[in-house]
Structure 1
Amino acid sequence: MILEVLVYDPVGHEKAISSLKSSKFDYFVKVFSSFHGLVSYLLGRNSYTLRKSTGSLVELVPNSAENDLFHNICIVLDSDAPHRPEDLFEDKEALLRYRFQHLNLSVIPFSFESSTDDLNEILEKKSLRKAQLLKDRLPRIQTWVGLIENVPPCILTMPNVLETLDKKPDGLSLDAKVGLVQRLANAFDYRSLMELKHPEGYYSEVVGQWEFPAHDLTIDELLYCGFVMLKLGLQNWDAQNAEMGKSEIPTLFRNDNTLLSFLFHVRDNYRLGNPFHNFRHAIDVLQASFYFVSKLQAISANDSLINNRLSKELMNPCATALLLVASLGHDIGHPGITNPFLTAHKTPVAAYFKDQSVLENFHLTQFCSILEPYAVTAPKFYGSFSQVFISDCILATDMAKHDLYTSKITDFMPMEAVDRSKSGVKTVATNTLAALLIKCADISNVCRPLRVSVKWGISLNQEFSEVAALERLMKDSTSAKNVEKVPSVPVSSLTPQSAMKLVPSLSGSQLFFIERFAEKFFNEISDSLPALDFLSEELEKNKLFWKKPANTT
């Protein structure tokens, strides 16, 4: 078992640190003389993983497979070290526990000068239980959703997230969180922490394409795409305020670096190892929403179709910015399993939300807790309207409500019935349209060009395979092994034909989803909003491919 030990040691206790050795763990020890250096390392931690090489040597390598964090991380803070102004963060433990909870950190203040305790023993005691829970994929999922007892509070589980939020008086105040996120934004150049394979202009172009190649992009590249889209959406909202003489309204993010800091924070709270419901999916849904709104905003004021004109009016710059923000956070903290699983196994999170839209309510709760410290400085942006808007959008992604939202399309249209002179009526209409758009975006993978669509189909198939394996494990702990990634080759290199060879049942699952959920929904969207008629056209092409005799089993 691997144990990553990160030591903040500004004084220099090389002898004590070099003596760290365990019979239970293979140590990877990294020493930081500045707290700034430690935090910078943690901000980029998801880009790397650890592996054992020759003998017991552990090395840091790129996490190109985007695996979960499967080993322990302990941070040892020299408790004798005086606070230095350049460190910026006086309460170092508070920062580490708040911002880097996704790393399941054990934070250990330790006096190298006076402690008589054995640091090795402390590290082992803090890490043994975590190692048992984090080592394999299926037990990790069980742990995340609260089906395992005696889970250390430092592990980021769904129950722990909710418990932390419920105990605000005992934890960090909102003002303290605001201070932390502002100091983080001031202390680090987030763009320098990213590696992009292409010039920045490439990403501005690619987010405007319906054949958005999400699986061809790294996590850093996806994050930068998110930055491009959110920045544009927020700039348009700022421009609208200026035109209306409301330029005194503060923007949601003070500058590019603060926006990037927020995106890093959101990225870190998606489960990296989920085959489908991960940060890549979040950016893909954000891009789809961005693309839909771009299509609506390109409509001429003289367009002959009233639904096109009024949808453009309803999705004004403020609504657009909020839709993009909601799209980014709509699946945050997803454990890679389904609402039926959570309710059937009586998980704590299902009980907390009374079996109603369990995942969606959790995503909303966690996302708003992350967004609030960034948004509180812009109360005009993040007021009651914005909070209801984001809530309506995220809750609309519950597939149990799919038929309800399909019926809303015909109930909502034609839009000439919308009385735009009444602000309340217009607000409801805007929220309904936004909910329909994010729902379109959330399930639009079947409407992407086939080369892209098939990769999402493979990813979702793998996630459902893990759910099935977990069900078997719950019935008999000896019957299910940790599920290997499917396919065994990178998803980005798959073609529709090679995907079919890897998963012969793929055509059946794609056709089921298209015929049960997507076809009627997207046909009605295309009929009601002709600017989005490309969705039903691409869906029909994909359906014809999956129905070919050579592609059915």
Structure 2
Amino acid sequence: MSTLFLIGIHEIEKSQTIVRNEHYFDRVIELQDMDSLMITLYKDRVSPFPNAHNYETGVSLVLYDPSKFQLTVRQLDVLFKRFFPSFNISAIDHTQEENLQRLECVERENNICRNRITRINHWMYHHHDDTPEGINKNSYSTVNGNSVPTQACEANIYTLLLHLNDAKAQHLQKASVPRLIRNIEFMSFLSDPIEKISQDGSHYWNILSTWDFCALSLSTQELIWCGFTLIKKLSKDAKVLIADNKLLLLLFTLESSYHQVNKFHNFRHAIDVMQATWRLCTYLLKDDPVQTLLLCMAAIGHDVGHPGTNNQLLCNCESEVAQNFKNVSILENFHRELFQQLLSEHWPQLLSISKKKFNFISEAILATDMALHSQYEDRLMHEKPMKQITLISLIIKAADISNVTRPLSISARWAYLITLEFNDCALLESFHKAHRPEQDCFGDSYKNVESPKEDLESIQNILMNVTNPDDIIQDHPYIPNGQIFFINTFAEVFFNALSQKFSGLKFLSDNVRINKEYWMKHKKPQ
């Protein structure tokens, strides 16, 4: 959904241009000041799933008079990019009539954002006219064997390339956190978990401390609270302290750097992998609190900015992001750069410690590239003695694919989500057969792109209420085949070898075996 914010604009000041274009937006919100705007953005972002006001499925604009707030349009846009990276939101000076023409673009941009295939396509292959220095706007890509020029896109919609370059620019500027953000009490946005804590102080520790942890049953507020609770304890154990409000700002910024609209690769997955990493560390790194903290932080940031697709799709059309990383571990390098730049702003002490320990966080995130799986499997079985960097990599790798080791009722729901995301990848490939990925997204050929149905309420109902895998595969009968393929190709040998090397982890291979037996009973003929 899209929102038009009117900040400090009195009724008498509303121009006919604003009134005439209000119908392009799903809602219009009038606020008195910028503090109220920031609070609204944070509150909206942590609204219950499925969240209509996530600022990703529509384009939102903020109209205001910069002279009244001593905050230029550019400064406000930079603030949005720093603290709300995945949001499609930008600022406009409403006192300049020519700027209000921007309102007329919203309908076309909303059409791109609301169709999940054109939205993902835009994330992956487009970039905005305001391209940072050093990026060639007139670069070329190869499509179906032909070299074609890429054009800078005019739409003000999130792209991977802009996310990456904005993060680099922010890192170079080393700006302090502005008062608008610094003065916010982030705990005030976490009413859901705080209410449960008041009823039972051990509630979240109880769910974090078991392998039956189910991030899928938690709200965004609860996910942030779980991250806060665990990191606060680990930082205390490691004597690498961070103030509560600074930690919460880091987590809110991190959540806003993930795509909430992704089915699988989102902040839920990040918290799930962090929890699994911590539980594995209690077996394998129990006497090293600093490395445990670093590894859990790598886990929560290991997929930041993930588009919900894969490296191959970025390579196939020679996207600029793929070229930036020379087609090697593209997404993993992308996540690594984004997360390290985020840490450099919000927790530089931790990043400094990481870089002193063989660039710990960087190496851990790069280890999650599934293209390297067989190499790590070989190290697991044959490296004697096992190097510390290998052990670190194996822990985060195991956590990253741990959904197949969770109890079946939880594992099946993760399988359902990854199946939905794979389906989106297939639709994107079909879309590319009819469109050049980087062509003008406002062109006529984009106008009639069919929008796949996306019943987010049904998805959320399954995640929250359906615990019987039979009910899930009734509508998705090929989920068992996909799970069997993944277990046979990646999980079974890996977790068996891990359990043999570390006997305390035998429950992992046992769960994989139990889950596989269930999927085998429901396998469909190819």
Same fold (TM over 0.5): yes
- Asked whether the equivalents of residues 5 and 29 of structure 2 are also in contact (C-alpha less than 8 Å), the reply is yes
Is 1:4 matched with 2:6? no
- Write the deviation string for residues 333-355 of structure 1: whole angstroms up to 9, x where unpaired: 01011111111121111111111
Match of 2:292 in 1: 320
Residue identity matched to 1:163: N
Label 1:381 to 1:133 Cα distance change in 2 as closer, same or farther (>3 A).
Answer: same
- 1:302 maps to none
- Using the size of structure 1 for normalisation, the TM-score is 0.80
1:131-210 correspondence runs (5 A): 131-147=110-126, 149-152=151-154, 154-165=156-167, 168=169, 173-176=172-175, 179-180=176-177, 183=179, 186-196=182-192, 198-199=196-197, 201-210=202-211
CA contact (8 A) 2:93 2:99 kept: no
> Secondary structure of the equivalent of 2:157?
coil
* Residue 13 (1) aligns with residue 14 (2): no
Flag as ranges the 4+ runs of structure 1 deviating above 6 A.
65-68
Q: 1:78 to 1:280 in 2, by over 3 A?
A: same
Map of 2:309 onto structure 1: 337
Distance apart, 1:153 and its partner CA: 7.1
Separation in structure 2 between the aligned mates of residue 371 and residue 69 of structure 1, nearest angstrom: 23
Q: Which amino acid aligns with 1:206?
A: I
Asked whether the equivalents of residues 469 and 480 of structure 1 are also in contact (C-alpha less than 8 Å), the reply is: no
Q: Match for residue 536 of structure 1? A: 509
Residue 40 of structure 2: aligned partner: 41
Native 8 Å contact 1:143 1:151 kept in 2: no
- Corresponding residue for 1:484? 454
- Closer/same/farther in 2, CA of residues 529 and 462 from structure 1, 3 Å limit: same
Query: What letter matches 1:263 in structure 2?
Result: L
Q: In structure 2, how many angstroms separate the alpha carbons of the residues matched to 1:65 and 1:74?
A: 16
Structure-2 residue corresponding to 1:308? none
The one-letter code matched in structure 2 to 1:106 is S
1:515 counterpart SS class = helix
Partner residue of 2:378? 407
Shift of 1:43: 1.9
**TM-score after normalising by structure 2:** 0.84
**Per-residue CA distance 1:416-461 (angstroms, 9 max, x = gap):** x46xxxxxxxxxx322211100000000100100010000000000
1:276 and 1:237 map into 2 onto residues whose CA distance is 31
Tell me the secondary structure at the aligned position of residue 212 of structure 1.
coil
Q: CA deviation at 1:483?
A: 4.8
Report how many aligned residue pairs link the two structures.
479
Amino acid at match of 1:160: L
What secondary structure is seen at the aligned counterpart in 2 of 1:319? helix
Rg (Cα) greater in structure: 1
CA, structure 1 residues 16+468, in 2 after alignment: closer, same or farther (shift >3 Å)?
same
Cα offset, 1:227, TM superposition: 1.0
Residue type of the alignment partner of 1:105: I
Shift of 1:190: 0.8
Match of 1:268 in 2: 256
Of the three residues 453, 463, 472, the one matched with 2:421 is 463
Map of 2:103 onto structure 1: 123
Q: Secondary structure, in 3 states, of the residue corresponding to 2:281?
A: helix
Contact 1:196 1:220 in 2 (8 A): yes
**Aligned residue identity for 1:277:** H
Task: Name the residue aligned to 2:140.
Answer: none
**Deviations, residues 176-207 of structure 1 (Å, cap 9, x unaligned):** 1xx117x4664111111123252253111100
Q: 1:79 to 1:287 in 2, by over 3 A?
A: same
- Structure-2 residue corresponding to 1:236: 237
1:198-230 Cα distance to aligned partner (Å, 9 max, x none) = 225311110001011211111111111111111
Aligned to 1:301: none
- In the TM superposition, residue 294 of structure 1 has moved relative to its aligned partner by 2.1
Paired with 1:105 and 1:185, the residues of 2 have a C-alpha distance of 17
Aligned-partner residue type, residue 145 of structure 1: M
Partner AA of 1:102 in structure 2: S
1:381 to partner: Cα distance? 2.9
Contact kept? 2:58, 2:88, Cα under 8 Å: no
Q: Structure 2: how far apart are the matches of 1:77 and 1:480?
A: 36
2:89 corresponding residue in structure 1:
105
In structure 2, give the amino acid aligned to 1:229: L
- Bigger relative contact order, structure 1 or 2 (CA pairs below 8 A, ≥6 apart): 2
Distance change in 2, residues 1:331/1:173 (3 Å): same
Give the partner amino acid of 1:221: E
Q: Which amino acid aligns with 1:7?
A: L
Q: Is 2:352 the counterpart of 1:352?
A: no
| RMSD over aligned Cα atoms | 2.8
1:366, CA displacement in angstroms? 1.0
Between stretches 218-227 and 323-332, larger displacement belongs to 218-227
Change (3 A) 1:119 1:15: farther
Aligned pair partner of 1:504 in 463, 467, 477: 477
Distance 1:382 1:507, change over 3 A: closer
Q: Which runs of 5+ in 2 are unaligned?
A: 128-150, 436-447
Deviates more, 1:28-37 or 1:326-335: 28-37
Is the 1:185–1:258 Cα contact (8 Å) retained in structure 2?
no
- Aligned partners of 1:467, 1:71: CA distance in 2, in Å? 21
Listed as ranges, the gaps of 5+ residues in structure 1 are 49-60, 239-250, 297-310, 419-428
Task: Give the match for residue 246 of structure 1.
Answer: none
1:220-262, CA deviations, whole angstroms, 9 ceiling, x for partnerless residues?
1111111111111111101xxxxxxxxxxxx352x11111110
Q: Does the 8 Å contact 2:2/2:58 carry over to 1?
A: yes
